[in-house]
Chain A
Amino acid sequence: MNQSNEPNTHPLAAIQSMVRACIQCGTCTGSCPNADEMDLTPRHMWRRVIMGHLDRIMTSRTFILCSDCYTCTLRCPRGLPLTDAMEMLKGIAFARQEKKHRHPRHFYEQFLATVRRHGRIRELEFMSRYFTTVRNPMVPLRFAPMGLKLIQKGKVELGFGHATDTPLAPLFDKVAAMDQAAPESAAEEDQA
């Protein structure tokens, strides 16, 4: 099941060391506002991570349903950085281009692509690029009523006559090169 049993090269290695001290008490699950929609509860997820069940974890919706509320991180009696761990699972799923998680991945990627081009988010450009990449007509329909309400109120940054435009491509490229050179270091910072 695992691509490799070598602890240092296992894709879950960094997250394993973050949650290894878990005593399976279930406080994280009991605290999580989204646990009822998750296919693996947070407690269950940490167990799977320690066991290295990468395939099962990657098909789970659990980390996609994490809304970064930090309640589990605050309450875990072992003081484990659980929200960061959920975030890293999201990152692994996006990097592996897991099919199941392509909508949220496109959402995040198009958001960042807009920031890379302009420095700030431009809602209209971001959303239209997101709709184009997901190629599912139901997705824009879901947003249409609220989008219209916001546009009527003049609350959508349309990007015309914009005072500032600060492309951040050099910063994005530099970070990508650094991540490439030391892919694990980002993960290790979190364990400190």
Chain B
Amino acid sequence: MNYFYYPGCSLTGSAREYDLATRAVLAAAGATLTEIDDWTCCGASAAAPISHLLSLSLSARNLALAEGMASDGDVLVPCSACYLNLKKAHTVLKTDADGRARINAALSAVNLTARGRGRVRHLLDVLATDLGSGGLAPLMARSLSGLSVAPYYGCQCLRPFVEFDNPERPVSMAPLIEATGADVFAWEMGARCCGAALVNTQPEAGLKRVAAILRAAKGADLIVTVCPMCQINLDAWQAKASRIAGEDLSISVLYLPQLLGLAMGLSAEALGLNLNLVILEGVREKIER
């Protein structure tokens, strides 16, 4: 399995552990990642309100670079916001001739052309569909039994494009968690919005979203995420959310590939575990054996 890898800005900064764990787990599972040369920002949620064409063109630039590297292949994206932006651009390139012409007119300023070849895939899709729990289970070197794990999907890997899971009641993480020997914590908040950038632009509203999710996860040992925005909201802002909510909402938050990597016997360093902000002692003892 070969993929063009688009890390996106978060995975070179605040989400470095997600990058490390993704590369380590996919390498251990026999998949080959080729990072897109000279990739640039997808525009995040900032470009679209300012210019729809800018948002599409920033994303399409990266697709054009991947197309220039080989004739075919899927683009693999771990960040849900990047995934959605790249997927929107890809959909316009594939299905809307006028839109494609406008994007390529813009890209001509940087001497690139995008066609919309291959597919844009979220990391969770690749883990759940291409590798699957059946493919990953034999790679598990130890069991994480006794751990209760709350799968947190967030929004943009599930909606509005319905590709690999139910956008209301997602289930694709469950078999992957079970493959590690851990239990899946039953809750209703897996697809509930974490507030996204609201913690930055409208903190009172954003922190309420975070608090509601953390409160619902009480009883689980940890939450697993598949998006740097979800991770930073639930991980880095949980102290502040606890203070505002007036109750202790602390819980360990890991990226899904970190959990898988631990069960596969990969080292804590290889998975960037020292970079997570919150791993509670009890959980650390259970996972770092």
Interface set of A (CB-CB < 8 Å, partner B): 33-34, 37, 61, 64-65, 67-71, 73-74, 83, 87-88, 90-91, 94, 103-104, 107-109, 111-112, 115, 119-121, 123, 142-143, 145-146, 149-150, 153-157, 164, 166, 168, 170-176, 178-179, 185-187, 189-190, 192
Across chains A and B, which 6 residue pairs bring their CB atoms closest together, nearest first? A174-B109, A69-B193, A70-B159, A186-B52, A157-B13, A119-B40
Enumerate chain B residues within 8 angstroms of A120, measured Cβ to Cβ: 9, 12, 40-41
Name the A residues within 8 Å of B237 (CB-CB): 146
Interface string of B51-74 (1 = CB under 8 A from A): 111100110010000000000000
Q: Which of B49, B98, B236 contacts A150 (CB 8 A)?
A: B236
What are 25 A-B contacts defined by CB distance under 8 Å? A37-B202, A64-B202, A65-B205, A67-B206, A67-B209, A68-B45, A68-B196, A71-B159, A74-B168, A83-B160, A94-B49, A112-B46, A123-B13, A146-B236, A156-B14, A157-B13, A164-B38, A166-B40, A171-B57, A173-B109, A178-B53, A179-B51, A189-B92, A189-B96, A190-B52
Q: Determine whether B250 belongs to the interface, using a CB cutoff of 8 Å to chain A.
A: no
Most chain A Cβ neighbours within 10 Å, of B12, B54, B240: B54
Known contacts A33-B193, A70-B160, A171-B58; is-contact A104 B201 (Cβ 8 Å)? yes
Q: Given the complex, which residues of A lie within 8 Å of B280, measured CB to CB?
A: none
Taken residue by residue from 178 to 202, chain B's Cβ proximity to chain A (1 for < 8 Å, 0 otherwise) reads as 0000000000000011011110111
B284 interface contact, C-beta 8 A? no
Q: Which of B102, B110, B167 contacts A74 (CB 8 A)?
A: B167
User: Do the beta carbons of A69 and B106 come within 8 Å of each other?
Assistant: no
**Do the beta carbons of B209 and A33 come within 8 Å of each other?**
yes
Determine the chain B residues whose CB is within 8 A of the CB of A111 once the complex forms.
Answer: 44, 46
Bound form: Cα–Cα A13–B159 in Å = 26
Whether the Cβ atoms of B196 and A69 lie closer than 8 Å is yes
A186's closest neighbor in chain B, by CB?
A: B52
* Closest CB in chain B relative to A181 CB, distance in Å: 10
Give the interface residue-count category, chain B. 35 or more
